[in-house]
Amino acid sequence: MKAIRVYETGGPEKLVFEDQPVPSPGAGQALVKIHSIGLNFIDVYFRTGLYKSSLPFTPGMEAAGIVEATGDNVTAVQPGERVAYAGVLGAYAEYALVNATQLVPLPGDVDFSSAAAVMLQGLTAHYLTHSTFPLRKGETVLLHAAAGGVGLLLIQIAKRIGARVIGTVSTEEKASLAQRAGADHVVFYTRDDFEHEVKRITGGSGVDVVYDSVGKTTFEKSLNCLRRRGMMVLFGQSSGPVPPIDPGMLNTKGSLYLTRPGLAHYTATREELIWRSGDLFRWIEEKSLTIRIDRTYRLSEAAQAHQALESRQTAGKVLIQP
Ligand SMILES: NC(=O)c1ccc[n+]([C@@H]2O[C@H](COP(=O)([O-])OP(=O)(O)OC[C@H]3O[C@@H](n4cnc5c(N)ncnc54)[C@H](OP(=O)(O)O)[C@@H]3O)[C@@H](O)[C@H]2O)c1
């Protein structure tokens, strides 16, 4: 099979397109023939070495396809079943081994592209809004990178709950995408002072929660945007990791809460995985959740896909076609 391999960490050129043997499923595993692969920012962190994996490895954390074969003791899925998954390394390939309990069966109306587009970023938007800071009607959210993969999904989920969304973006095109997804206010954080804008929009009171995946360039000002006892949800670092902080800062800025959540801890049980993915698939089937696929690359073009994501050219989801 064709696959992308990383032998040493570094730039996009470290993504090597080559032949690999098709693996065989062990006990508890399924072999998935991949039809669509989701690109995520975490793929960049693994490629650069910010997140660690033993070398060499096949990157990619999200895909949809068909179960080709199963190992012993697999009851969750059967050969021939249409499935999707997120959070398992090795998706940049024509076949991948996945623990069967991490696969979710796809409803008939959800195609492979939509499934590969929604699993990782959609599950993330779901847990951030339903569990990390369970949003309520009337609350106000500050969401950075609002036109990104997670961003466009999180806006729609926050709006269905009835929250008010202030989204930050870098370009006019991204602003109109965020607005079309439902954002109430859009702020150009590369041009304007977003702290000033958020205070103006909220009449000085601040937001209930910040969902910040940009990290280094937004973290500290984001804390200043929160209301008293508001929650800072730092869930990524697209601009670079946040330097160490003095916890006393959370007191002086208003007895704030700070959390740094990860998807694995919010899909740790099969029950939770099925709940969250079930909501997403239902919303797709009802057409109340729109998936924006920005572009699709061939597997051999994985390096170009990474370049586009890292250089902020993309909005919504990028897929890779094996
Ligand atoms: N913790 C979790 O469970 C979890 C799960 C999924 C994703 N995440 C995180 O969520 C973030 C978004 O992931 P995604 O896959 O949906 O990516 P994405 O939002 O589609 O892409 C990243 C966006 O971040 C913005 N950005 C701001 N500064 C940037 C910089 N210096 N370099 C690159 N981008 C910059 C850009 O939007 P503008 O051009 O509008 O600024 C860019 O389009 C990532 O940080 C990812 O690690 C975390």
Positions in the chain short of pLDDT 70: none
Structure tokens at 312: 């902020």
Could you tell me the pTM of the whole model? 0.98
Give residue-wise pLDDT tens across range 203-227: 999 999 999 999 999 999 999 999 9
Residue nearest to atom 20 of ligand 1 (CA): 148
Calpha distance 49→199 (Å, rounded): 37
For the CA of 45, the nearest atom of ligand 1: 47
Residue nearest to atom 45 of ligand 1 (CA): 236
Question: How far does the centroid of ligand 1 lie from the alpha carbon of residue 293, in Å?
Answer: 15
Look at residue 123 in the predicted model and tell me its pLDDT: 98
**Ligand 1 neighbours by CB, cut-off 6 Å:** 40-42, 120-121, 124, 145, 147-151, 169-170, 174, 213-214, 217, 235-239, 261-263, 309-310, 312, 314
Question: How far does the centroid of ligand 1 lie from the alpha carbon of residue 6, in Å?
Answer: 22
Give residue-wise pLDDT tens across range 281-290: 999 999 999 9
Give residue-wise pLDDT tens across range 119-161: 999 999 999 999 999 999 999 999 999 999 999 999 999 999 9
Question: How far does the centroid of ligand 1 lie from the alpha carbon of residue 5, in Å?
Answer: 23
Residues 6 or more apart in contact with residue 100 via CB below 8 angstroms: 28, 29, 30, 70, 74, 75, 76, 77
Question: How far does the centroid of ligand 1 lie from the alpha carbon of residue 142, in Å?
Answer: 15
For the CA of 261, the nearest atom of ligand 1: 1
Q: CA-CA distances (angstroms) from residue 266 to 41, 144, 261?
A: 18, 21, 8
Residues 6 or more apart in contact with residue 182 via CB below 8 angstroms: 155, 156, 158, 159, 165
Q: CA-CA distances (angstroms) from residue 181 to 87, 120, 207, 267?
A: 26, 19, 20, 26
Question: How far does the centroid of ligand 1 lie from the alpha carbon of residue 265, in Å?
Answer: 19
Question: How far does the centroid of ligand 1 lie from the alpha carbon of residue 93, in Å?
Answer: 23
For the CA of 189, the nearest atom of ligand 1: 41
Question: How far does the centroid of ligand 1 lie from the alpha carbon of residue 74, in Å?
Answer: 35
